[in-house]
Amino acid sequence: MTLDVVEIQKILPHRYPFLLVDRVTSLNEGESIIAYKNVSISEPVFEGHFPGHPIYPGVMILEGMAQAGGILSFLSMGDMSEEEIASKVVYFMSIDKAKFRSPVRPGDQLEYRISVIKQKGTIWMLKGEAYVDNKLASEAELKAMIVDK
């Protein structure tokens, strides 16, 4: 299953400049997702992080993982209509074991690889990894819950 940014916006409430997933290229419901974020120098975060030496902030990488995990969680909950999806939101409960392995710079393409560690009801425990050119840039464990808005 592939999703473009228009389809992603039907699932996630995030919008520019905080929508951090550009495309989904693979989804195995209840198991895993692969999604991408193209990092551009035109993003507002680079005005201050860091002038003359732009580095994509680790917290933004984690948020991108979380958004990809949110897409995986929503699309793994069975056949929900657009209206049902619109009435719910994913809240992240915790981020553990976060590590940053290498800097991410403008021009890089982040590949988010998210897999389900455990799922019970509306609570999801996910393993997130972010790669640039098949090199691990960041990793973390994420816990989330789908709730009514």
| CATH number, position 48 | 3.10.129.10
SS3 category, 84: helix
Annotated catalytic residue, options 14, 23, 49, 88: 49
Number of domains in the chain: 1
Helix (H, G, I), strand (E, B) or coil at 108: coil
pLDDT of residue 55: 98
Q: What's the rounded Cα separation, in Å, for the pair 41 and 37?
A: 13
Domain that holds residue 38: 5-148
pLDDT tens for 23-63 read 999 999 999 999 999 999 999 999 999 999 999 999 999 99
Q: Does residue 69 carry a pLDDT above 90?
A: yes
Hey, how many other C-beta atoms are within 10 angstroms of the C-beta on 145? 14
Number of Cβ within a 10 Å radius of residue 89: 15
Q: Is the peptide bond before 74 cis (omega within 30 degrees of 0)?
A: no
pLDDT of the residue at 84: 87
Q: Which two tokens stand for residue 132?
A: 């640039």
pLDDT at residue 1 greater than cutoff 90: no
Q: Give the angle subtended at the CA of 115 by the CAs of 101 and 137, to the nearest 5°.
A: 15
> CA 114 to CA 81: how far, in whole Å?
23
Cα–Cα distance for residue pair 144/62, rounded to 1 Å: 13
103 token code pair: 């800097």
Tell me if residue 49 is catalytic. Answer: yes
pLDDT for the residue numbered 122: 92
pLDDT of residue 126: 98
Query: CA dist 46 to 58, 89, 112, Å?
Result: 13, 28, 21
pLDDT surpassing 90 at residue 83? no
Q: Say if CB 30 and CB 73 are below 8 A apart.
A: no
Amino acid 4: pLDDT: 98
